[in-house]
Chains A and B, each alone.
Chain A
Amino acid sequence: MKSSVIVFPGSNCDRDIAVALKKLQFKTSMIWHKETELPKSDLIVIPGGFSYGDYLRSGAIAAKSNILTEVISAGKKGSLILGICNGFQILIECGLLKGALLRNSGLKFISKDIQVKILSNKSKFFKKYKSGEILKLNIAHNEGNYFTNKEHLDELENNELIPIKYCDRNGSIDLKSNPNGSINNIAGIFNNKKNILGMMPHPERMSDKVLSSEDGLGLFLSLMN
């Protein structure tokens, strides 16, 4: 399996994700944002961080970089793309995913471990998990408050395009277990074809027992053929 990790000035989870991918024997190339060609990849990852210092809006400047033109065209052809945290923000800003990520409702940067529930495992990204499984993952963001219009929200809910929602330790999805004000407790979404996933929690931070948990590893295992 070949993977490409896109690197922007200000990315800071690029090496973490590369370590997680390497652990599973992915052959990973780090691709600088100024590149105009993307190597043939089974998986493209847009990592977390603060690309371009979050200037203008989180992800807005990165979405106009050279390499994103290639990523957009690969995504439209069906390549698997994973955007984590700032990567999710970039996927939204470049139009591959719909909606918006607003400032957290509590106006604070949140860095903590949270729980998410797998709502559906029917995708290439979550097939190694069971539906209903609760994972402990980590979030670290200031703009993770997902928002979209009613029509798109219904489309997401009715077509299993929301693989994970924030929940508590017992799996209840409610206001109390919602860390950032995200509509319907959404922690991640797919595009219609389910080849592009954007998520705020960091699976790469929970991909080794040394890092406190292996709950995020299933995502990378799912992506392996």
Chain B
Amino acid sequence: MKFAVTITLKNDVLDPQGKVVGQTLKNIGIKNLNSIRQGKFFEIDLDESDSNKGEKKVKEMCEKLLANQIIEDFQIKKI
């Protein structure tokens, strides 16, 4: 069973990389861009057939290592 984890900086934490990427996109002519937040992506393959148990395990991974919850939020999706 595979899961996708996306980690982004919390909204009240400044994301200078996202800002610069957004500014560059505007500079090269991309229109209607409101904002960009840059993050990290993990694809996790688990030996688990129960999706609830799998998601619980991935949540544990996020809390213990993958995300720093003081500054980051995480989202888990089954893929």
A interface list, Cβ under 8 A from B: 56-57, 60, 64, 93, 98-100, 102-103, 105-107, 147-149, 181
Contacts and interface: CB of A to CB of B under 8 A. Distances in A.
6 closest residue pairs by CB, A with B: A100-B71, A100-B70, A107-B16, A57-B68, A100-B68, A105-B16
A150 to B, nearest CB: 10
A59 B20 CA distance: 25
Interface in B1-30: 13-14, 16-17, 20
A56 B66 contact: yes
Contacts, number: 28
B17 A147 contact: no
Interface residues of B, number: 10
B79 interface: no
A66 to B, nearest CB: 15
A214 B66 CA distance: 40
Interface of B: 13-14, 16-17, 20, 65-66, 68, 70-71
Contacts of A99: 70
Contacts of A106: 16
A60 B68 contact: yes
A151 to B, nearest CB: 12
B17 A102 contact: no
A56 B72 CA distance: 12
Contacts of B17: 103, 107
Contacts of B65: 56, 60, 64
Contacts of B66: 56
Contact of A93 (B13, B14, B16, B68): B68
Contacts of A102: 13-14, 71
A60 B20 CA distance: 25
Nearest to B69: A100
Contacts of A149: 70
B73 to A, nearest CB: 13
Nearest to B12: A149
Residue in B17, B65, B66 whose Cβ sees the most chain A Cβ within 10 Å:
B65
Contacts of B14: 102, 105, 181
A147 B71 CA distance: 9
Contact of B16 (A100, A103, A148): A103
A107 B20 contact: yes
Contacts of B71: 100, 102, 147
Contacts of A64: 65
A147 B16 contact: no
A16 to B, nearest CB: 28
A87 B66 CA distance: 19
Nearest to B42: A56
Nearest to A63: B65
18 contacts: A56-B65, A56-B66, A60-B65, A60-B68, A93-B68, A98-B70, A100-B68, A102-B14, A103-B16, A103-B17, A105-B14, A106-B16, A107-B16, A107-B17, A107-B20, A147-B13, A148-B70, A149-B70
